[in-house]
């Protein structure tokens, strides 16, 4: 049961935000299968061949030639091949039933069957040329001999019915195209939102990087200023220390010089005193007479 819950329908798988069943690539591939441009037989054209041949188309935008692309292509081929097989079988059964139970040649009004008639084919061509707008039904009825095999009222009803059918089909195509455009617009909006988000994230990272650089620069400047102040403080401290040491030496030298000067003065004073005392003790010399 748990495994069944995990099974995802391939058509519901999101491809760039859009379910695969609504993706332009799926429609593109189905159209190419229908036109025969892409064969259902993978031996005639492998995934790489198809990719290289059509990858420049708008439907391939944002896609990659990866395992997912190959898987989806293979499943589409299987669906188209199986659908063709069923269609061929249905057509074969229809032809048998038609052969066994052929429709009556005339309808209840005694007119030929409209379906498959030359008038039906001619009316398709005339309506493609917009002749039903240029002519009134009775004038168009008189224009073709094949139309006159039918009652004018019947012919007019077929014109109205064909016109209503064509308008209805055109409306369905327009609705489908509008819905597809809306889906593509939603996907584009989501894609652009992702791009914008990624760009905002990149811008934010760049701004943060700039802030980090500026923060680092300021931190470096602050550290450099701190170191400069510390060096200046240390230099000032050394200068003051040197000044104190020089002043101390100067004072010591001055003190020593003063000490020496006083010692010299003291020595000089002592010598002077000694000399004076020596002079006082020396006796006076008598002068001899001339007789």
pLDDT class for 148, splitting at 50, 70, 90? very high
pLDDT class for 145, splitting at 50, 70, 90? very high
- Residue 8, φ and ψ in degrees, nearest 5: -115, 130
User: What are 170's two structure tokens?
Assistant: 């055109």
| Residue 2 in this model has a pLDDT that exceeds 60 | no
- CA-derived radius of gyration, the chain: 59
Q: Establish how many alpha carbons lie within 13 A of residue 244's alpha carbon, considering only the half-sphere containing its beta carbon.
A: 6
Q: Which has more confidence, 231 or 183?
A: 231
Let me know: does 16 contact 195? Beta carbons within 8 Å.
no
Output the pLDDT for position 4: 46
User: In degrees, to the nearest 5, what angle opens at C-alpha 282 toward C-alphas 278 and 283?
Assistant: 165
User: What are 121's two structure tokens?
Assistant: 């084919």
User: What are 145's two structure tokens?
Assistant: 């001999």
pLDDT class for 289, splitting at 50, 70, 90? low
Over range 111-115, report the average pLDDT.
Answer: 88
The model's pTM is 0.48
| Residue 287 in this model has a pLDDT that exceeds 70 | no
Output the pLDDT for position 35: 87
Listing DSSP states for 134-198 in one string gives HS-HHHHHHH-TGGGGS-HHHHHHHHHHHHHHHHHHHHHHHHHHHHHHHHHHHHHHHHHHHHHHH
Place of tokens 């790489």: 48
Over range 32-48, report the average pLDDT.
Answer: 86
Output the pLDDT for position 195: 86
| Residue 221 in this model has a pLDDT that exceeds 90 | yes
Rounded CA gap, 39 and 30, in Å? Answer: 11
Start-to-end CA distance of the chain, whole Å, equals 175
Listing DSSP states for 32-52 in one string gives HHHHTSS-S-TTTS-HHHHHH
> What is the share, in percent, of the chain residues with pLDDT greater than 90?
41
User: What are 222's two structure tokens?
Assistant: 């602050």
Output the pLDDT for position 291: 45
């Amino acid at each position: 049961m748990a495994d069944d819950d995990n099974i995802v329908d391939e058509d519901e798988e999101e491809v760039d935000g859009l379910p695969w069943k609504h993706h332009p690539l799926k429609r593109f591939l189905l159209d190419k299968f229908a036109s025969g441009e892409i064969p259902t037989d993978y031996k005639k054209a492998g995934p790489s061949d198809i990719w290289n041949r059509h990858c420049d188309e708008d439907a391939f935008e944002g896609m990659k030639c990866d395992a997912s692309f190959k898987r989806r292509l293979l499943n589409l081929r299987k669906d188209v091949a199986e659908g063709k097989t069923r269609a061929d079988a249905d057509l074969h059964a229809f032809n048998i039933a038609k052969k066994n139970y052929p429709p009556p040649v005339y309808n209840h009004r005694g007119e030929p069957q409209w379906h498959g008639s030359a008038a039906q084919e001619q009316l398709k061509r005339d309506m493609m040329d917009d002749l039903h707008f240029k002519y009134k039904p009775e004038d168009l009825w008189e224009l073709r001999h094949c139309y006159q095999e039918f009652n004018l009222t019947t012919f007019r009803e077929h014109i109205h019915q064909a016109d209503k059918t064509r308008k209805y089909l055109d409306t369905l195509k327009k609705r489908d195209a509008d819905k597809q455009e809306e889906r593509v617009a939603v996907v584009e909006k989501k894609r652009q939102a992702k791009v914008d988000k990624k760009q905002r994230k990149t811008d934010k990272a760049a701004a943060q990087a700039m802030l980090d650089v500026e923060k680092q620069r300021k931190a470096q400047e602050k550290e450099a200023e701190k170191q400069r102040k510390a060096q200046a403080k240390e230099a000032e401290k050394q200068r003051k220390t040197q000044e104190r040491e020089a002043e101390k030496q100067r004072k010591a030298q001055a003190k020593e010089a003063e000490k020496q000067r006083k010692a010299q003065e003291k020595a000089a004073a002592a010598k002077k005193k000694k000399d004076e005392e020596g002079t006082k003790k020396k006796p006076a010399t008598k002068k001899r007479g001339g007789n």
